[in-house]
Chains A and B, each alone.
Chain A
Amino acid sequence: YPTRPVDKDKAEAELAITIKKATNADETAPKQKHVRRCIVYTWDYHSSQSLWAGLRVQPILSDEVQTFKALILVHKVLQEGHPIVLKEAQNQTGWLETCARTVGNDGQKGYGSLIRAYVAFILAKLRFHRIHTEFNGLFEYEEYISLKNIDDPNEGYETISDLMNLQDQIESFQKLIFSHFRGSTNNECRISALVPLVKESYGIYRFITSMLRAMHRRTDDMDALEPLRQRYNAQHYALRKFYYECSNLKYLTGLINVPKLGQEPPNLDDSGT
C-alpha cells in the first residue's frame, strides 16, 4: 500500500542484496545508502520481517566486523524505520543474543566487547519500547507525551527513571567505544556506531528536560523530585562531555550536527525552552 511508485517483488530481491552490502566485511561504516534502503523498505511495506530473515541468511556471525555492522544497521532501522519495526524486533531477541554469544572473547580486531555491549544496549532499548509504546525509535519530541504523564505523577516518575536508565546505558557504551579506538588505523567503523547514539541520547535528553519541567510546574512537592534533579544534572554533564568528544571526530561532524549543551544544566523551575 505505499503511495509511492514501487514494485514489491523487485524491492524484496533488492533488500537481500542491500543487507549483504550494508554488512560486508570491510572495516568501514555501513554505507548509508544501504541503511537508508532498509529504512525506506519498512515504511513502504509496514513490515520488517524480510529484514530479519535477510540478516539470518547472511554469514554475518562468522566475522566480528560484519556482526558489528549488522548491529549498527539494526539500531538505525529501529530508530528511523516504521514503528512496526520496534514491535517486530521484540521477537528477535534470540538472534541478538546469538550475536553476542558467537563472537570470540575480544575477536582479532577488538570488536568482541563492543558487540556484547551493543547487544545489551539494543535489548535494553527494546525492553523500554515494549513498556513505553508511546515513544518512537528516536524519542523525537512530541509535546503530548510530556502532558500525558503529568496527570499521573507516579507514571511520569517511572517513565523518567526508565529514560534515565537507558541514557546511562548509552553513556557506558559510548565510553567503551572511545576506549576501543586504535591510534594508527582509521576508526570509521567504530565511530559510525556513535552516530545513532548521539541522536538517541539527545532525543532522550530533550524529553527528560521537558517532562521534568512539566512536573515541576504541576507539583508543590519539590523534595520528591530532588533525586531526579540530581540525576538529571549528572547526566547533563556527562552528555556535554560526550558531545564535546564527538565534536572532535571529523567523520562524525561531517555527517550530523553534534548538539552543544550549555555549561550548566538548564533550570527546571522556569518555563523557558
Chain B
Amino acid sequence: MSLQTLGKGALRVAKNYTKGYSDVQAKVRDATSNDPWGPSGSQMNEIAQMTYDQNHFVEIMEMLDKRLNDKGKNWRHVWKSLTLLDYLVHAGSENVVIYFKDNLYIVKTLKEFQYVDEYSKDQGANVRQKAKDISNLLMDDERLRRERRTRRDMRDRLVGGKG
C-alpha cells in the first residue's frame, strides 16, 4: 500500500465526518472508493443486508446514485458502484430491484461510458460491459427471479437452514 493511498483513506474518513455522512453511507463510500482493490464480499454482503431496513435503504440509494454519476476521472467509483449494484440486485432487498427498474436509464446510459487514463488505457471498457450486463438482467424478470432465488437457497444452505 502506498503512502498516497493511505492518505486518501484518511481523507475519506475526514470527509465522511465533515460532510455529515451517516455510518451506512460511509460504508457505501468505502466499498466504492478510488482504492484500487475491492469491494470485498463481506463489505457487499453487509450493505446488502442493510437494504432490508427502509431508512438504511434510502441512504444507500442516495450514495449509490452519487457514485454512479461520478465523472470519468473517478471511473473506479462508477465501476465499483456497478459491482456493488450487481450484488445488491442479487442479494439485497426487493426494493433495490424496484428502484433500479424505475431508474434503469441511470445504468443504461453508462453503456457508452468513456474514460481513457493518462497511460492511454481505456478504463471505460469495464464500466461499459458491466452496465450492459446489469441492464440486461434488470430487463429480464424471469432470469432475475431465478438468480435471486438461487442466491437465497445458497445462502440458506451455507448458514445451515433457518431456525
Contacts and interface: CB of A to CB of B under 8 A. Distances in A.
A4 B106 contact: yes
Given A3-B103, A33-B71, A80-B105, A195 B112 contact: yes
A262 interface: no
Nearest to B62: A5
Interface in B59-85: 61-62, 65, 69, 71-72
Contacts of B128: 255
Contacts of A195: 112
A32 interface: yes
Contacts of B105: 39-40, 43, 80, 82
B99 interface: yes
B140 to A, nearest CB: 12
Of A35, A43, A195, chain B has the most CB atoms within 10 Å of the CB of: A43
A197 to B, nearest CB: 14
B109 interface: yes
Contacts of A256: 111-112
A39 B110 CA distance: 11
B12 interface: no
A165 to B, nearest CB: 27
Contact of B109 (A4, A5, A40, A254): A40
B112 A36 contact: yes
A36 B65 contact: no
B13 to A, nearest CB: 23
Given A32-B114, A33-B72, A255-B114, A39 B109 contact: yes
A72 to B, nearest CB: 12
A254 B127 CA distance: 12
B102 interface: yes
Contacts of A33: 71-72, 114
Contacts of A4: 65, 103, 106
Interface in A47-103: 80, 82
A80 B65 contact: no
A5 B65 contact: yes
B113 interface: yes
B103 A254 contact: no
Contact of A32 (B106, B112, B122, B125): B112
Contacts of B111: 256
Contacts of B69: 40
A249 B110 CA distance: 21
Contact of B122 (A31, A80, A254): A254
Contacts of A31: 114
Of B106, B108, B109, chain A has the most CB atoms within 10 Å of the CB of: B109
Interface of A: 2-5, 31-33, 35-36, 39-40, 43, 80, 82, 195, 254-256
6 contacts: A2-B103, A3-B102, A5-B62, A5-B65, A32-B114, A39-B105
Interface of B: 61-62, 65, 69, 71-72, 99, 102-103, 105-106, 108-114, 122, 125, 128
